[in-house]
Each structure stands twice: as C-alpha cells, then as structure tokens.
Amino acid sequence: MELGFRYFLNQPFFKKIIIINIIVFLLPLVVNTFLFLFNLKQFSLINYFDLHPGIGDIIRSPWTLISYSFFHIDFFHIFWNMLILFIVCKYFLNFLTNKKLIEIYFYGVLMGGLFFVISYNIFPVFKNAFSPLIGSSAAVYAVLIFACSYTPNTRVNLIFFDIKLKYLGLFYVLLSLIQIPFSNAGGNIAHLGGAFYGFYYAKNFNSSNSPFDFIFKLINNFKSKPKENRDNQKKIDNILDKISKSGYESLSKSEKDFLFKNSNND
C-alpha cells in the first residue's frame, strides 16, 4: 500500500488524474457489487456529484461544478477520455509544468460546466429537458484543443495518413457542434466549453490570463473600493473638522491637495 501511494505521488499530474478517474469509476461498481451480494439496497453515488442545470441545484451543491468530471457513464466513456488525455499530455504537452496543466484541466472542467448550465437556462429547446452532466470530456477537450492551438502545425500519424494538430482540433470541435441536435446535447455543449478554454489559454499562454480573471477583479473591486471610500471619507471629515476649528489656512499642503482632489471627483 505504501509503495503504491509513493508511486502515485511521484507521477506527473496527468497520470495522477487518470488514476483518480479510474478509481472513482470503479468504486461505485465495487460498492454496489457488495450491496448486491448482501442483498442490500443499491444506490447511485453519482447522484451526489453530477452537475444539474438548475440554478437552485448549483447553489445547494456548488461542488458539482467540478465533481461531475470524475464520474463516467460506462467503460468506453472513461476509456476514450483517459486515452486522449494520456496521448496529448505524454507526447505534446511534456513542456508544461504541472501547475499549468492543472489550470488547463480544471478550468476546462469549470468552463464546460458553465457552458452546460447557461445553455440549459437560455435556449428554449432545453426548457422541459433535464439531463445531469458527468464525465471529464470538457477537461480533456481543454487539454486537447490547447495542444492543437499552441502547436498547430505539429503533425500526427493517424495510421493511414498524417494530419496537423490544428485540423484534428477543428474536427473534434465541429464534431461536438454538429452532434448537439442528435445526441448528448449537454455533453457536447460542455465539450465546446472546454475547447473554448483550451483555445483561449493557448492564445494567452505567456500572460497566463484566465477568462475568469474579470470575476476575481470584480470581487476584489467590491471588497477594496468601499474600504477605500470609507477611508477617504474619514480623512475628508477630519480635514473639514480642522477647517471649522482653525480655518482653511491651518491645513498642510498635502491636506489641501487631498481635499481639492476629492472635491473634483465625480
């Protein structure tokens, strides 16, 4: 057990995430096997971690914006996701640090979840539809499209012919787009969300900006501006008190400049 855990810790991030996904996939199956053998009621562990499109559901279970990505429908669902992740990371993203790969992967998860939720709440076709989201496909698409966008002219061999990564990425994106009306609409929309983030990250790789940065800046502004305004107002009140007691000429140059500056702000 100790050797296995030590082996896990020494693995690069993409191998760790593959191992975790496999364990999470197998765990509910093993649990239900024992429940069956002991004639106990079986249950679906996935129901506590899948992503539901209702805003109320997300408010009650915000962790599902990430946790949905660790569960898969069946063997082929997890097999293809993990195979693509392994190939892309091992052969095309070996220059990335674990930190950057983690950012691409989990922001891809989050962006895929947001695309899914927003789509189910704005498009009329989903008005009476209900289908929770599971699977790591959005994260895998983020990693894949990042590779296809960052090294677009790298050629890969697909057995019968060579193709540039940019065309392979375009194929996957178009495939998800055209499949939306036919099957797994929510899943394919999540794919596009992950793909969007992978493309964005590749185009802003050196700056390492995130499309979520504006959210954090907005939150910081809400936190900092009221405090700044309160501090300014307190200083203005102290200056006005000083004027009322000793006159305007008693102010220092910095106090006069400060009062002038703030009196001319809208």
Distances (CA, A) of 63 to 60, 73, 217, 251: 9, 19, 22, 55
Residue 169: its pLDDT value, please?
95
- pLDDT value at residue 247: 53
pTM comes to 0.75
Q: Which residues of the chain have pLDDT under 70?
A: 1-3, 206-233, 237, 239-251, 256, 259-266
| Alpha helix (H) residue ranges in 68-212 | 75-91, 98-122, 137-150, 165-179, 185-203
Residue 97 has a pLDDT of 85
CA distances from 18 to 83, 87, 194 (A): 9, 12, 17
DSSP state of 52: P
Question: What is the rounded distance in angstroms from the CA atom of residue 215 to the CA atom of residue 176?
Answer: 28
Report pLDDT for 210: 55
pLDDT digits (tens, 9 = 90+) for 47-71: 899 999 998 999 999 999 999 999 9
Q: What is the pLDDT of residue 266?
A: 39
Q: Which domains does the chain have, with CATH numbers?
A: 2-210 (1.20.1540.10), 215-263 (no CATH)
